Structure 1
Amino acid sequence: MAVPAVAALALGLWGIDRQNSMWRDESVTYQVAHRSLGDLWGLLGHIDAVHGLYYLLMHAVFAVWDGGLVTLRLPSTVATALAAAGVGAIGTRLADRRTGLLAGLVFALLPVTQQYAQEGRSYALVTAGVTWATYLFLRAMDADRRAWWVAYAGTLGLACWLHEFAVLALVAHALTLWRLRPSGRVWRRWGIASAAVLVCLLPLVVVSAGQAEQQLGWLGRPSLAMWAQFVLLAGVGLLFCRFLPGRSGDTDSGDALSGDGTTLKSLALPILVAPAGLLMTGSLVKPWYVDRYVIYGMTGLALLAGAVLSRTIGQRHRLTLPARVLTACLLAGASVAVLLPWSLLIRSPESRKDDVVAVAHTVEKVTRPGDAVLFMPARRREWLLSYPSVYDRLKDLALAESPAASRTLQGTELPAGTIRRHILAADRVIALTDPAGQPLDPFAQEAVKREVLREHFVVCSRTPVRGAQVVVYARAGHCAD
């Protein structure tokens, strides 16, 4: 569907540089994509194998054109346009062109869609892959031809290699089949395709499982707010289903796809609810849930919303002409009032957890020749690695091996005793820390940084930056140097 794709592309390109702000995860992508293939391969053996295919793709993109933030985010913008077109194609196949058009536009206008369309991470690409795999799933059910099942398995397998939690889409598709009750032949072919996806994904699962604690160890169990958000979205999806027609009984096994709304509901609601619900439930035992890991579930919400809007428009003949005009104006005004503030917010630095650009500029302003730097905790080294012109002017007192040399994301740090000696030999130290009130890492290296600075230095200045603090420490009497 061309119109939703164009709309998503236009919204993604609008403010793609986000006022030259970059947050930490994007900074990681930017740094890793600029490494050599040998360094990148070595890194993936230690950490971030789950993002390996995406990093390789971005490495190739930057090799063709290094346009900074635009290059970093453009693949996500294009992928979002493809996902919007896929949502439109699914809606058209299951209902009509109007439903497809409206569903694609709803998807493009969702604030969360616009957010990840302008983020240099893999999640928009995963959404595009799952969306088109779902379209191919429908075609395979309808035609039951081997070529469609092969295309379905290949597309979903690619999405899983971009992020392995895309595999949860298989559960949603299984629920769709269970609800529609197609022939046993369809079940068998879907089973073979699913097995092919799982076998293809197995090497990535084996490698990433060994990295899981380091990769996801920072996560906690889903909060009450997360559960409330999930229940709200599921409730909205169920409410939309109530407004749509559809037989309450089984569909004809000889015709898996019905045009009365049954198939659309049977497809959209599971994709909205199942991946997020499974990941959240599993996170009660082992915390692995982050909403962006299953953001492709928003395609289900868009399909249901588009179908409801299409049905509402189809019943407009029940209203008089003035009532139609008034209703259209009220709906348009309400949509602008709700969506425009969100669209403006996600295009501002305030929508980010931190701002790497602002951190680098602040460090550049407060730095004097001969200054040293400490990252507290060490993983905050990511804030300056994208700005070597700033980082290279400072002596990193804790660094043992650089990220490239150690084939890690943040580099490795010296033992606590060595860090102590280096700090005591310095006169001025620029400390990059988390905002006040954040939990402190208990590791020996982090403890010794805090201890020596507290006992032997004074605070010359403390500059809050979004998601960070830049604190200048100096020996007594050296603040003005």
Structure 2
Amino acid sequence: MWRDESVTWQVAHRPLGGTAELLGQVDAVHGLYYLLMHAVFQAWEGGLWALRLPSVAATALAAAGVAAIAHRLAGERAALCSGAVYAVLPPVQMYAQEGRSYALVAAAVVWATYLMLRERWAAYTAVLLVGCWLHEFAALALLAHAVTARRSRGWRWSAAVVVLLLLPLAAVSVRQAERQLGWLGRPSWQDWAAYGVLAAAVLLLARGAAAPRELVRVAVPLALLPPGLLMAISLVHPWYVDRYVLYALAGLALLAGTRLAAARRPGPWLLTAALLVPFGWWSVWLRTPESRKDDVLAVAAAVRERARPGDAVLFMPSRRREWLLSSPELYGTLHDLALARTPAASRSLQGTELPAEQIRARLVGAPRVVALLDPADQPLDAYPGEAVKRQTLASHFDLCSVDEVRGARIAVYAQPGQCP
């Protein structure tokens, strides 16, 4: 379980009143997803199975939706190939097994697209609105649908209702955006290169008679407009992360599956077989802890081995408190030196910390400290509280041991001469 999944786990285990208070301060964009996961854990305290099963089910549902669109526009063979292509795409595989909202958003957008083709406008509005409330960047799919629907009267009414009912969430999340997305930078050259590869593949697959015109009119805008527009917006407001528009891959799957189904020569099938080799390797790798930035359960296990009941614990930086919040039975045995107010009391994700001088005063008197740090190659936070933690440990303690765990370091400090 990595840190983002840990956030899902601990928020989903808060009382509903506490969750509502949290969403007024941060993470409103994920509010509906947290409520869904709260219901899941209330029904079944199934650990990682319960955390991830909704994403698995949603990915299966999204693959079925891709197949349904292809079946309507290009026939049974295209349906089988398109659904299969979507299911094996590595980013789809990644978020199929992660306890976050992105697979559910993709399923909602895909089925909304199908309902648009059927002109079931009430159902279209409801399903797309659910997707937008799961993550509001699903609203970018409206732009792709505008091209496909050619602004039909039914679509215009549906779009107006979706936008109107999304405005309350947008108003809250915009106020939270600086705190929520402050870690993001503008799209990197790798992001632009990946988008260029996607655009080239989509336009190449859309050429020729093998891809029906109606399917092209659905797939190309869906694949290119949401990520392209979000990247353009991110030149001014850095909001782009590829998982926010995971659903765009449904457009690529529709085109690739339809072209594959129409192939009468062995070339496309040989290319597909060749691609399945790296895709298979990638799929296996995605199911290892190394595929994520960290592993909070491994961090907790390492702390459990090294800490003694009553030891002080220090998180450097403070947001790494997330590493132990999903292991409350361990966290409760340690003395969190810097903590001023708990996450629940402060209506936040990681709690609030004391002023720098109070942290120093508490730290100086601690006999033994277990410090949880980022990897050595990560930049150091310049905040006064973080600086005082580093300075006090260096000047008043001996470093007894440092161990690396996936995405983290566990350092044990003791008063001079007290290391075992």
Asked if these proteins are the same fold (TM beyond 0.5), I'd say yes
Q: Equivalent residues in 2 for 1:3-402 (5 A)?
A: 22-140=1-119, 148-178=120-150, 187-245=152-210, 261-312=212-263, 315-316=264-265, 330=270, 333-402=273-342
Inter-CA distance 39–240: structure 2 relative to 1 (3 Å threshold): same
- 8 A contact 2:149–2:155 mirrored in 1: no
- Deviation at 1:222? 0.7
Distance between the aligned counterparts of 2:241 and 2:353, measured in 1?
28
Distance between the aligned counterparts of 2:233 and 2:270, measured in 1?
42
- 8 A contact 1:245–1:262 mirrored in 2: no
Distance between the aligned counterparts of 2:415 and 2:221, measured in 1?
61
TM-score scaled by length of structure 1: 0.85
Amino acid paired to 1:195: A
Distance between the aligned counterparts of 2:349 and 2:61, measured in 1?
31
Q: Equivalent residues in 2 for 1:445-456 (5 A)?
A: 445-456=385-396
Aligned-residue identity in percent:
60
Inter-CA distance 435–244: structure 2 relative to 1 (3 Å threshold): farther
Inter-CA distance 377–70: structure 2 relative to 1 (3 Å threshold): same
Question: Which secondary structure does the structure 1 equivalent of 2:236 belong to?
Answer: coil
Distance between the aligned counterparts of 2:269 and 2:126, measured in 1?
44
Could you list the per-position Cα deviations for residues 127-147 of structure 1 after superposition, in whole angstroms to 9, with x for gaps in the alignment? 00000000011111xxxxxxx
TM-score scaled by length of structure 2: 0.97
Distance between the aligned counterparts of 1:153 and 1:466, measured in 2?
43
- 8 A contact 1:222–1:287 mirrored in 2: yes
Please, what is the CA RMSD of the aligned residues? 1.4
Distance between the aligned counterparts of 1:62 and 1:340, measured in 2?
32
Inter-CA distance 268–332: structure 2 relative to 1 (3 Å threshold): closer
Distance between the aligned counterparts of 2:231 and 2:101, measured in 1?
20
Distance between the aligned counterparts of 2:310 and 2:123, measured in 1?
59
- Deviation at 1:333? 4.5
- 8 A contact 2:356–2:388 mirrored in 1: yes
- 8 A contact 2:260–2:269 mirrored in 1: no
Could you list the per-position Cα deviations for residues 177-231 of structure 1 after superposition, in whole angstroms to 9, with x for gaps in the alignment? 45xxxxxxx6222111101000010110011111111110111111111110111
Bigger CA drift: 329-338 or 384-393? 329-338
Distance between the aligned counterparts of 1:333 and 1:266, measured in 2?
28
Distance between the aligned counterparts of 2:260 and 2:231, measured in 1?
30
- 8 A contact 1:243–1:308 mirrored in 2: no
- Deviation at 1:110? 1.0
Could you list the per-position Cα deviations for residues 108-141 of structure 1 after superposition, in whole angstroms to 9, with x for gaps in the alignment? 111111111100000000000000000011111x
Structure 1 segments, 4+ long, off by >3 Å, are 243-246, 327-333
Question: Which secondary structure does the structure 1 equivalent of 2:152 belong to?
Answer: helix
Larger radius of gyration: 1
Q: How many residues align?
A: 420
Question: Which secondary structure does the structure 1 equivalent of 2:207 belong to?
Answer: helix
- 8 A contact 1:244–1:308 mirrored in 2: no
Could you list the per-position Cα deviations for residues 25-58 of structure 1 after superposition, in whole angstroms to 9, with x for gaps in the alignment? 0001000111111111111111111000000000
Distance between the aligned counterparts of 1:244 and 1:116, measured in 2?
33
Distance between the aligned counterparts of 1:194 and 1:436, measured in 2?
48
- Match of 1:319? none
Could you list the per-position Cα deviations for residues 411-444 of structure 1 after superposition, in whole angstroms to 9, with x for gaps in the alignment? 1111111101000011211111111121222211
Could you list the per-position Cα deviations for residues 244-280 of structure 1 after superposition, in whole angstroms to 9, with x for gaps in the alignment? 446xxxxxxxxxxxxxx11111111111111001111
Amino acid paired to 1:297: A
Distance between the aligned counterparts of 1:97 and 1:159, measured in 2?
27
Bigger CA drift: 362-371 or 206-215? 362-371
Gaps of 5+ in 1: 1-21, 141-147, 179-185, 247-260, 317-323
Distance between the aligned counterparts of 1:28 and 1:80, measured in 2?
21
- Deviation at 1:458? 2.2
- Deviation at 1:176? 2.4
- 8 A contact 1:401–1:413 mirrored in 2: yes
Could you list the per-position Cα deviations for residues 373-409 of structure 1 after superposition, in whole angstroms to 9, with x for gaps in the alignment? 1101111000000111221121000001111122211
Gaps of 5+ in 2: none
Distance between the aligned counterparts of 2:268 and 2:237, measured in 1?
47
Amino acid paired to 1:174: A
Could you list the per-position Cα deviations for residues 336-370 of structure 1 after superposition, in whole angstroms to 9, with x for gaps in the alignment? 42221011000111111110011001111111243
